Structure formats: C-alpha cells, structure tokens
Structure 1
C-alpha cells in the first residue's frame, strides 16, 4: 500500500466526503457550520481542500464528518460502499 505522504493526495476520504455532502444537499459552508456543533472547526476553504485531497483529515474530523454526513467511517475510507 502506498503511503499517503508518498503521493500528491493528502487523504483518501475526501472524494467520499464530497459525495456524501452532495447527497445530503449540503453546501461546504453548511457542513462547516454543522461540524462546529461538534467542536470541530473546519472552514469552508479547508473543506474544499479536504475534498480535493489537498488537506489531511484527522481522526477526530473523520468521526465528526461521518456523524454529520450520516455515513460510516469505513465508507469515507473507501472500505465499503
């Protein structure tokens, strides 16, 4: 398995975050606001970077994204459909 740091992508969950966000009819700004309710502070620009794999996602952020987007962390990590 290729290490994330060995590639141009800084995460593997970003594309799945975008898919789940769009299925929830949520803007990046709305997602940012909902994450704040869980004390996870990611601004809209950082969500864009995250979705385009230009930003690392922490485990705490992954859990919060999973909860807000109503998908499993395994889905976000590409381990299940």
Structure 2
C-alpha cells in the first residue's frame, strides 16, 4: 500500500516529545485554529493512511513547536 503522506512518523515523534496524546492534539487544532481533525484522523495521519492538507501540516507544526519542513523532509537536526 502506498503511503498517503510522508510526515506521519515525524508528526507522531513530535507529538510524543510534546507529551500530547492524539486526542489532545486534535483538541488543540480545533481550539486554536478551528480545524476539525478527530483522534481517528490523527491516528490515520501518523500511520500514513490519511493525507495531510498543507494548512493542517502548518497548524500541527505550530502546536508541536517544530519546523513544518522537518515534518515533510526530516533531517539530522534535533527538533
């Protein structure tokens, strides 16, 4: 199966480093940016099943305090 996104693993890593669970990330997206993404959506994004819209990736990066380019490409630098 082809992956629907390339950032899922890094989103999961950054979310865990931020000490947020999937529900907390989903709530933060809705409260801070009025973006409705469910816990199930977050799970599917992290597993590469669901794609991520550009604005979703931007907001996720803001909440997780990481560079959106890192979420897309990764690198050897620390988050």
TM-score (norm 2): 0.89
* CA contact 1:34–1:68 (8 Å) conserved in 2: yes
Cα RMSD, aligned residues only = 1.1
Q: How many Å apart are 1:8 and its aligned residue?
A: 1.2
Aligned pairs for 1:1-81 (under 5 A) are: 8-37=2-31, 38-80=33-75, 81=77
Unpaired runs of 5+ residues, structure 1, are 1-6
For this pair of structures, how many residues does the alignment match?
Answer: 75
Deviations along 1:10-69, whole A, 9 cap, x unmatched?
Answer: 000100000000001100000000000211111000100000000010001000001000
CA distance in 1, matches of 2:28, 2:10: 18
2:73 aligns to what SS in structure 1?
coil
* CA separation of 1:79 and 1:22: change in aligned 2, threshold 3 A: closer
